[in-house]
Amino acid sequence: MQTPARIWRHFDVWLLATVAVLTIAGVAMIRSAIGGNENLLELVPRQAIYAGIGLLVILLTASIDYRVWSSLSRSFYVGSLILLLAILGAGFVGFGSARWFNVGIVLIQPSELSKIIMILVLADYFARHQYEIADFSVLLRSLLLAGIPIILIFLQPDLSTAIVVAVTWLALAFAAGCRVRHLLVLAGIALLVTLAAAPFVANYFITSYPQGGDFLFLKNYQMARIANFLLPDPNAHHGASYNVNQALISIGSGGLFGQGYGHGTQVQLRFLKVRHTDFIFSALSEEFGFVGAAVFLALLMFVILRCLRSARMARDSYGALICYGVSILLLFQAAFNVGMNMNLLPVSGLPLPFFSYGGSSLVASLLGIGLVESVILRHKRIEL
């Protein structure tokens, strides 16, 4: 058996160091992004506190054998469903959604924690059924397992996070070895449903948008984001189109090396909205230019590659699937956020990992890194 000292020598220092650099840089970027707004000044020390807590969470989670979570996954799953149900009735409403619990000092967003819980739950499920993975019923049961929290998150409404959980399920199902043809069958069914709903969606835009209300299960603001992406108004003075236009101006004005920390005109003059959360990548690009944005993306990609490396080194399928899940979670959120900032994808509330303001999101991401570290610490079965 490996002694604790020998286990800790496998700790991925490069992964921790890179995540720490990104997290600290994120706090510094938030400080610049608030543009001297006195109402937002408290966000900087608050994010720093979350960062400190999150880095401690990495060490604490790494010290616990990741296989312990396998026996607790069902309890975590039930607990997350209870929280998601409770927030529908008692959640704090902000920006048209009830996604947070207001505990006085901070706002807690259960859906962020649910992302990590679903990685543990699905990794445990697929690992337990690894010898039956070719059975279509195994895939359907996993879809049901993921589908319940996806629906509860969607009803908040939080479409972007629901999509993240769905993508995580799909990635883990593929990584676990589910047959591609089974996944294609489900994708075909989803496509048919989408095509069947297309005429109704088109009719909604023709007859109701932008005066109309909700459409089926989609809120009006969600439909508006899709409409603004497909048919943007270049002269908009507010809303998603305006924010995206200002984001593109910010990215373009950064040039090669940027305007300097705290000197971005779009940021400091507050033309760029929600610049400390959804559009912080644009703020980064304006102040540090193409080179700074490229360095940030390179560091983030390094983190993802280290997580994938941990998956390849894992001693069992459960550990490997945890690492794959964390990798796809970080990759998808980063890609979607950057794509949104560059007007390649519709505007959503997905945060930029380790960078966007948000305590729940930051701690959840760092918890995922802690799980990866736990897997890498125990990747060897026996060491003499």
Determine the length of the chain: 384
Q: Examine the pLDDT at 89 and tell me if it is beyond 80.
A: no
Task: At 236, list the tokens.
Answer: 């908009």
Per-residue model confidence as pLDDT tens digits over 306-351? 999 999 999 999 999 999 999 999 999 999 999 999 988 888 888 9
Asked if pLDDT for residue 96 goes beyond 50, the answer is no
pLDDT band at 383 (very low <50, low <70, confident <90, very high): very low
Alpha-carbon span 134 to 180, nearest angstrom = 10
pLDDT in tens, 207-258: 554 545 555 555 555 556 665 656 666 666 566 678 888 999 999 999 999 9
- How far is residue 35's CA from residue 286's CA, in Å, rounded to a whole number? 13
- Compute the average pLDDT of residues 56-63: 94
**Amino acid identity, residue 130?**
Q
Question: CB atoms < 10 A from the CB of 21, how many?
Answer: 14
- Residue 274: CB atoms within 10 Å: 17
pLDDT tens digits for 353-382? 999 998 889 999 999 999 999 999 987 754
d(CA 350, CA 368): 16
How much is the pTM? Answer: 0.86
The rounded percent of the chain whose pLDDT value lies above 70 is 80
Instruction: Show me where the domains of the chain are located.
Output: 4-377
The confidence score (pLDDT) of residue 36 equals 77
